[in-house]
Amino acid sequence: MMRFRGLNKLQSRILQLLLVFIIPVISCHGQSNSAADNPGPKLTIAHDTIDYGIIPRNSNPYRYIKFTNTGNEPFILSVFGDVVVPVEYPHKPIQPGESGEIKISYPTNRVGPFMNFIGVNYNTNPTPKIIYVKGWVLHAGVDSAKGK
């Protein structure tokens, strides 16, 4: 352990604890994450999981993810993800308070369980929001209510 010159062992230990635990807490105390303190766009997504549930083969492949710009500046979306799940999304700037939707399409001709993801990024946030897409496509002739 590091020892400070001119201090005894107990005083040195107390100073070390202050430096390690107390000072970082004090420096972060005045920070806030409210929209008024952090101007800019903010992406709010209704759900982080799209669950197709148990569906028959070749059923409706489309689902929609609704989002809103709850910040105070416009943003531009970029969406990326698994090759299996094609997406359509607005390429124009989304103004503050404006809502929109991302259209996803899972190929329901593929039989069996699936779990994929879509990443949603926007122009000022380096961390994408991950949305999971999951479900189970049954063979033709199988009753989806019974699962057999």
- Is residue 87 within 8 A of residue 106, CB to CB? The reply is no
Confirm whether pTM is higher than 0.75. Answer: no
Number of Cβ atoms within 10 Å of the Cβ of 81: 18
Give tens-digit pLDDT for 37-67.
566 788 888 888 999 999 999 899 999 989 9
Angle at 109 between CA 106 and CA 111, to 5 degrees: 95
Give tens-digit pLDDT for 102-111.
998 888 998 9
Residue 35: pLDDT band by 50, 70, 90 thresholds?
very low
Find all residues with CB under 8 Å of 66, minimum gap 6, and list them: 45, 46, 99, 100, 101
Residue 6: pLDDT band by 50, 70, 90 thresholds?
low
Picking from 106, 129, 107, the residue whose alpha carbon sits closest to that of residue 118 is 129
